[in-house]
Amino acid sequence: HAKRASNSTTPPSYEYVIVGSGAGGAPLAARLALAGHSVLLLEAGDDQGNATQVVVPALHSVAAEYEPLRWDYFVQHYEDEEQQRRDTKLTYTTPDGQQYTGANPPEGSTPLGVLYPRVGSLGGCSVHNALITVYPHESDWSTIQSITGDDSWAPDNMRKYYERLERSRY
């Protein structure tokens, strides 16, 4: 839409506000805008789409650690602290301020959680996924179909979407 000059201090209003420009948010915002709706797309990060760590698929392992992109987000896989401590991916802050990942941390270390790489950039976490996708087993689709009662999740139906992606040439 064309921007109008205004002396008003009233902020613009939008029909839709989408939070996050990742694999779900950006396409949703684009489709709503193409359908003629006014849309505000909010993203916590800036545009890192031209960073070498992002455009070279072989560098995906460093993309999640690239300072302008990375969010140091840690999760707890288990509510039980003893079970959590047996997780070899558990990261600790050591007494000297460093990070240690694995079993048997230095004495006095404090558990942070398991690193869950997240990205703050236009495109969200799709920015650091190295163009990798994994096709789920049919039982995964069937489980979702059963839980939701929605036959559109049937394995044969979902396969059509992956076939469209497999033939993408942009």
Q: Where are the domains of the chain?
A: 1-69+119-132, 74-116, 135-170
Using CB atoms within 10 Å of the CB of residue 15, give its burial: 0 to 12 exposed, 13 to 18 middle, 19+ buried: exposed
Length reported for the chain = 170
Neighbours of 25 (CB within 10 A): 17
Share of the chain above pLDDT 90, in %: 60
Q: pLDDT tens digit string along 111-150?
A: 999 998 888 899 988 888 777 778 899 999 999 999 999 9
The phi, psi pair for 4, rounded to 5°, reads -100, 140
Token digits of residue 140 = 């995964």
Q: What is the mean pLDDT of residues 53-74?
A: 87
Question: Which H or E run includes 115?
Answer: strand 110-115
Instruction: Provide the pLDDT for residue 54.
Output: 87
Instruction: Provide the pLDDT for residue 169.
Output: 67
**Cα–Cα distance, 145 to 152 (Å, whole number):** 7
Confidence of residue 6 (pLDDT cuts 50, 70, 90): low
**Cα–Cα distance, 62 to 60 (Å, whole number):** 5
